[in-house]
Amino acid sequence: MAVTTTNIQIEVGRVPMGKGPNWAFLLAHGGAGPQDPSGGMIEQAEKRVATVLNQAGAGIPSDIPSVLKLSWQQATPLERLVMNGTRELEADPLFNAGLGASLQGDGQARLSASFMESQRQKFSAVMNVTNIVHACDLAWALQEQRHCVLDGMGSDDLKRRLGIPATSPVTKDRLAKWISYKRRELAAQADSSGKTGTVGVIGLSGSNHLAASTSTGGVGNEAPGRVGDSPTIAGNYCSKQVAISCTGLGEQIIAFALAPRLALGVESGKTLESVMTKSMELADQRGYSFAAIAIASDPAAGVLEWAAGSVNCRLVWSKIEKCL
């Protein structure tokens, strides 16, 4: 742990690179919740994120839309690892992404997801797509398209064009919670109380390929159509030097430009540890509540630096080094 104050937690580490093309280092998060969680939910989510990272492989999932098979075959092992990790977390109702995502103020689940990797450096995202579990499949599909960020209408249309069958991500549990919020007329967001949220997976391979993927159901009970940070470069970013995924209050992450701020700091020669620490200190002064995972690659020095940082919230995260 590099920094621990009442409000800020930052863990960092350095790992030697150059362990062959089949080597990869991955970090994943399962969202951020209250600093003093109750009920063992955080521990359960943390274990699940660790298991997903441990089991994630570079194969092609059997339930991938057939139209996406070719792009999966052509993808690098790192891209497949990051996508497989994201899809597994989306499929678990424990997290606020994919199945079991939060419902917006009108009771509809609208999902957002984004993807970026270091070779093409193309950011692609869908915002507020309905009736789908793996929103990350759409963000991934947009890597091949000229217009790579789509709103809800465009994303729903893309889903149909790709032949992805309509599947409701709404679970009984989320619906019951939404009804109870409405009954209590809770105007503000409250779906994070003791819950974990958004998911994100980032990675670096032995051939110095970086990738970042983030998927979310939003903050819960929000204005229909609200867009947070996850389908924007504020919440998910990748360059030839860094991969970053953020979680927490999207409006604050966007206003703070969290991922670009971390990326520019590293790219201007600072250590990830110092950039993460400075950013979280400044965010604390502003009373913000969010978190990020990041990997910075330094092939010349033969090391990567990783960091998991949070301010005024508790981040659920895990890391792994693996050989494929």
Which residue ranges make up the site for ligand ASP (CB under 6 A)? Answer: 31, 96, 197-198, 216, 218-219, 228-230, 235, 247-250
Q: 102 or 205, CB closer to ligand ASP? A: 102
| Pairing outcome for strands 124-129 and 149-150 | parallel
Give the nearest distance from C-beta 286 to ligand ASP in angstroms: 16
State which residue, 169 or 218, has the beta carbon closest to ligand ASP: 218
C-alpha span between 185 and 192 (Å, rounded): 16
The distance of closest approach from Cβ of residue 96 to ligand ASP in the complex, given in angstroms and rounded to an integer, is 6
Measured from the CB of residue 222, what is the shortest distance to ligand ASP in angstroms?
8
Cβ proximity to ligand ASP: between 230 and 297 the closer is 230
Kind plus residue range of the DSSP H or E element containing 10 = strand 8-16
Minimal distance, residue 206 CB to ligand ASP, in Å: 30
Check: CB of residue 98 under 8 Å from CB of residue 133: yes
Nearest-approach distance from CB 34 to ligand ASP, in angstroms? 12
Residue length of the chain: 324
Where does residue 34 rank: exposed (0-12), middle (13-18), buried (19+ CB within 10 A)?
middle
- 118-134 CB burial, b ≥16 within 10 A, e <16: beeeebbbbbbbbbbbb
Q: Which amino acid is at 267?
A: E
Nearest to 33 by CA among 49, 20, 19, 18: 49
- With beta carbons less than 8 A apart as the criterion, state whether 110 and 152 touch: yes
The alpha carbon of residue 125 and the mean position of all alpha carbons in its chain are separated, in whole angstroms, by: 12
CB nearer ligand ASP, residue 198 or residue 205: 198
Distances (CA, A) of 235 to 38, 58, 251: 27, 24, 10
Burial 146-174 (b: 16+ CB within 10 A, else e): eebbbebebbbebbeeeebeeeebbeeeb
- Distance, in Å, from the CA atom of 150 to the CA atom of 96, rounded to the nearest integer, reads 21
Minimum separation from the CB atom of position 277 to ligand ASP (A):
21
The nearer residue to ligand ASP, 200 or 206, going by C-beta atoms, is 200
Measured from the CB atom, the residue of 77 and 152 that comes closer to ligand ASP is 152
Rounded Cα gap, residues 125 and 202, in angstroms: 16
Q: Which of 86, 196, 198, 247 is catalytic?
A: 198
Least distance to ligand ASP, CB of residue 247, Å: 3
Active site residue 216: no
Which residue, 86 or 198, has its beta carbon nearer to ligand ASP?
198
Q: Annotated catalytic sites, by residue? A: 198
